[in-house]
Structure 1
Amino acid sequence: MSAPSRFDRGHTDDLMTFLSASPTPYHAVANAAERLEKAGFRQVAETDAWDGTSGGRYVLRGGAIIAWYVPEGAAAHAPFRIVGAHTDSPNLRVKPRPDTGAHGWRQVAVEIYGGPLMNSWLDRDLGLAGRLSLRDGSTRLVNVDRPLLRVPQLAIHMDRNVTADGLKLDKQRHLQPVWGLGDTVRDGDLIAFLEDEAGLARGEVTGWDLMTHSVEPPAYLGRDRELVAGPRMDNLLSVHAGTAALAAVATSGAGLPYIPVLAAFDHEETGSQSDTGADGPLLGTVLERSVFARGGSYEDRARAFAGTVCLSSDTGHAVHPNYAERHDPTHHPRVNGGPILKVNVNNRYATDGSGRAVFAAACEKADIPFQTFVSNNSMPCGTTIGPITAARHGISTVDIGVAILSMHSARELCGADDPHLLANALVAFLQP
């Protein structure tokens, strides 16, 4: 692999910066776009006509980004090499009527998004971030990245059985955060506060998509700093790696037989069924328009899709030292052991034997190890955008990722070497 494409521990440092700057899917795609702009990519609007000239382009839609690089002289039927990921993470999201409270406490009404480990959100300093929709039709990102809210846990003195019986949380009653004191609930207080934070006039915000995030920054952990603790690794770790890999390939100057693509979708944690999710038409529309912009026909589109491969990159489960019996007895992925290949014969993952060969070749070229994850037969297997992408677009898809602990926690744990090992594998895949 050429030197510009070789990632090391500095990549992990940069991942930590990316995680801190991306408390929501909207911030994540904006930060990915900024990095691609520095690599020469330019944004194109879906409402504009597209040209077929060479170079890097990207489309932003809500919390999703599709970016691609057209090499000089690329044929209309040139196949794509896609890195797929998702931008959303489980969390607490603000309801349409956010102002609430009781017994002298001012609170914010929240709804549970996805499948968070709810106990991990207790007694944690939380910020608030998201997207504000304005009266003039524009949007504005907002990020209150300081302690603003907290979900206080009940003291053990009032729940003496919690140690023996385990913590039991009611999603409606027990997870509403406090953010101040006051006997009167005033509708509009939270949004007025955010208008002030964003430098907007009162009444300018008419819609919002807001969510909480832990304000504790990512950090190296362990005696030898071989671990990283931080938020939203599922799945911004893959978004960051895919962005870095696409930028590296686009600036390497090497001839490319494929068109490299990054496809980072929203709403994976809730089933991907949205206009910005993997089960929507966004990816297929962008790929088709790229073919047609280069003068291609439907026949060229069919040829391109038939030769396309997608790596669906999402975090997976490292073997847990305290719960090893929950894993398959012969498949124990370890942190810092390299990226994982995710396999499930019931198509919860999209990997098959030919896909394994593609990923093995990329890892061999990058000179990195890889591991295999298979679920314990006695437990249901999770899923990803992989099977959705394969079924919706007829694209050969392989499920991969990085092994972590504490998945869906407000703060997850990975190996410090695995992020740059994944990025190296993605470069080798995009630039075969």
Structure 2
Amino acid sequence: MRADLNQGLIDFLAASPTPFHATASLARRLEEAGYQRLDERDAWRTEAGGRYYVTRNDSSLIAFKLGRNAPLEHGLRLVGAHTDSPCLRVKPNPELARQGYWQLGVEVYGGALFAPWFDRDLSLAGRVTFRLAGKVESRLIDFRAPIAVIPNLAIHLNREANQGWPINAQNELPPILAQLAAGETRDFRDLLGEQLQNEHGIIADAILDYELSFYDTQRAAVVGLGGEFIAGARLDNLLSCYAGLEALLTSGDEQSAVLVCTDHEEVGSCSACGADGPFLEQTLRRLLPEGDAFVRVIQRSLLVSADNAHGVHPNYADKHDGNHGPQLNGGPVIKVNSNQRYATSSETAGFFRHLCLENEVPVQSFVTRSDMGCGSTIGPLTASQLGVRTVDIGLPTFAMHSIRELAGSQDLRYLAKVLSAFYESIELP
């Protein structure tokens, strides 16, 4: 089972180079499992036992199955994750011609580690908006092939490189796509038009706009002498999206279950389709009773906010609190912060710990050092927007926000197992 899950994750990561593609990948799996797509612009007709999903901005998705047990009596079981990851995104007017090379200007999305982006085989993917026969349309594109690279400066020309040097995002991160002949110019929108034709058979009248990200073409892989690890891009947080999906699809139908995968977490979630926006509440209000009954359902519900946790790195163990160093392959991590950077309470932590023990899943704890700042997740944002009790958890990883992260190959099975048990749990605290 571990090998099948890990290979499924590897395939999911390969098919999901951007939040748009991740959402499309999730939607495909849901439809194959019998989930019906709903359009936010239409009137909804749902029924007990039904399975549905809805997307917003092509980059966020909420899937739900209405269980046989009424939500008013038994509440909802929600799992939340996010579809976006730190990356380099192409600017609106990106063309650069420098020293006979064609480059593209990029903007850093989220808190990316810059150095790992150098000397990687990069491709480009995302959403393109165009005009066709007088109408505005959009499609997803993915070049797939390695079409760009950001070469390092040789050590001979940067003798201080190994002493640490600040990377200037404006000057040092534009990827090289091609060499230019003397006097030659290239138009990025022409390139997008060619890709649109090659991938979709569409000859657009004009390329109007785009949201495109560079990504590493190297596939994720199981690594280590004993296959102990998974190395790959976008483990934060597509790993949790995938585990949540697997749990939703394999859990029973007694309880009402919700999977929430939203965009823009890496930049604060403040958007129409982010966790700090109205997407989840608007969706639930269309599914649940109104007024007093809606509040009663929410207060009987619980959210598991699943995002990655910092595993204790053997080379940097002093970056962790001595009593809170999560180990890769040691199971899910309950994340705690007294200043509400995580939304975990003793009640919700106790419930999740009990759930792990009942299902023979090892469980760990994380709290940041008292002299260091703490990151955050969609947990506190969703809790404050919806008023739902929340526990923040995640799988331990190394190199978070690198172009290639590392997680434990056993942990995915643990997370999928406990999330499936959560979706099936009879009683919530």
The answer to whether the superposition gives a TM-score over 0.5 is yes
The residue identity in structure 2 corresponding to 1:30 is A
Given the alignment, which residue of 42, 53, 68 partners 1:48?
42
1:37 Cα shift? 1.2
Shift in CA distance, 197/409, structure 1 to aligned 2, threshold 3 Å: farther
Distance 2:69 2:383 in 1: 28
The residue identity in structure 1 corresponding to 2:33 is A
The alignment partner of 1:359 has SS state of: helix
Contact kept in structure 1, 2:122 and 2:148, CA below 8 Å: yes
Q: Which residue does 2:407 correspond to in 1?
A: 414
1:79 Cα shift? 1.7
Q: Which residue does 1:345 correspond to in 2?
A: 338
**Residues 357-396 of structure 1 mapped to structure 2, 5 A cutoff:** 357-396=350-389
The alignment partner of 2:147 has SS state of: strand
Given the alignment, which residue of 397, 403, 408 partners 1:404?
397
Q: Which residue does 1:277 correspond to in 2?
A: 274
Q: Which residue does 2:264 correspond to in 1?
A: 267
**Which range moved further: 21-30 or 357-366?**
357-366
The residue identity in structure 1 corresponding to 2:51 is G
Unaligned runs of 5+ in 2: none
What does the per-residue CA deviation read over 1:29-75, in whole Å, with 9 as the maximum and x for residues that have no partner? Answer: 11111111122111000011112313110001121000100123635
Q: Which residue does 1:425 correspond to in 2?
A: 418
**Consecutive aligned runs of 4 or more in structure 1 exceeding 4 Å deviation:** 75-78
Q: Which residue does 2:207 correspond to in 1?
A: 205
Task: State yes or no: 1:215 paired with 2:217.
Answer: yes
Q: Which residue does 1:156 correspond to in 2?
A: 155
1:204 Cα shift? 4.1
1:26 Cα shift? 0.6
Task: State yes or no: 1:39 paired with 2:10.
Answer: no
What does the per-residue CA deviation read over 1:91-114, in whole Å, with 9 as the maximum and x for residues that have no partner? Answer: 000111122221100011111100
Contact kept in structure 1, 2:332 and 2:394, CA below 8 Å: yes
1:191 Cα shift? 2.4
1:78 Cα shift? 4.9
Q: Which residue does 2:7 correspond to in 1?
A: 13
Task: State yes or no: 1:61 paired with 2:59.
Answer: no
Number of residues of Structure 1 aligned to a counterpart in Structure 2 = 416
**Which range moved further: 77-86 or 382-391?**
77-86
Distance 1:402 1:362 in 2: 16
What does the per-residue CA deviation read over 1:198-248, in whole Å, with 9 as the maximum and x for residues that have no partner? Answer: 332143432211001100011111111111100100000000011111111
Task: State yes or no: 1:301 paired with 2:289.
Answer: no
Distance 1:403 1:391 in 2: 25
Contact kept in structure 1, 2:130 and 2:206, CA below 8 Å: yes
Distance 2:254 2:382 in 1: 27
The residue identity in structure 1 corresponding to 2:151 is P
Contact kept in structure 2, 1:142 and 1:197, CA below 8 Å: no
The alignment partner of 1:169 has SS state of: coil
Given the alignment, which residue of 132, 156, 176 partners 1:178?
176
Shift in CA distance, 100/203, structure 1 to aligned 2, threshold 3 Å: farther
The residue identity in structure 2 corresponding to 1:209 is E
1:346 Cα shift? 0.7
What does the per-residue CA deviation read over 1:315-363, in whole Å, with 9 as the maximum and x for residues that have no partner? Answer: 0100000000010111110000001100011100000100112211221
Task: State yes or no: 1:128 paired with 2:117.
Answer: no
**Residues 303-322 of structure 1 mapped to structure 2, 5 A cutoff:** 303-322=296-315
Q: Which residue does 1:147 correspond to in 2?
A: 146
Identical aligned residues as a percent: 41
1:298 Cα shift? 1.1
Contact kept in structure 1, 2:67 and 2:257, CA below 8 Å: no
Contact kept in structure 1, 2:2 and 2:409, CA below 8 Å: no
Contact kept in structure 1, 2:102 and 2:186, CA below 8 Å: no
Contact kept in structure 1, 2:72 and 2:296, CA below 8 Å: no
1:260 Cα shift? 0.5
The residue identity in structure 2 corresponding to 1:361 is H
Q: Which residue does 1:94 correspond to in 2?
A: 90
Task: State yes or no: 1:72 paired with 2:68.
Answer: yes
Given the alignment, which residue of 74, 80, 84 partners 1:84?
80
- TM-score after normalising by structure 2: 0.94
1:76 Cα shift? 5.2
- TM-score after normalising by structure 1: 0.93
Distance 2:136 2:361 in 1: 48
Contact kept in structure 2, 1:77 and 1:301, CA below 8 Å: no
RMSD: 1.4
Task: State yes or no: 1:288 paired with 2:285.
Answer: yes
Distance 1:24 1:362 in 2: 33
The residue identity in structure 1 corresponding to 2:77 is R
Shift in CA distance, 118/100, structure 1 to aligned 2, threshold 3 Å: same
1:366 Cα shift? 2.1
Unaligned runs of 5+ in 1: 1-6
Distance 2:32 2:322 in 1: 45
The residue identity in structure 2 corresponding to 1:103 is Q
Q: Which residue does 2:166 correspond to in 1?
A: 168
Q: Which residue does 1:3 correspond to in 2?
A: none
Contact kept in structure 1, 2:123 and 2:147, CA below 8 Å: yes
Contact kept in structure 1, 2:84 and 2:265, CA below 8 Å: yes
Distance 1:85 1:45 in 2: 21
1:128 Cα shift? 0.4
Distance 2:277 2:311 in 1: 30
Distance 1:23 1:93 in 2: 12
Task: State yes or no: 1:26 paired with 2:26.
Answer: no
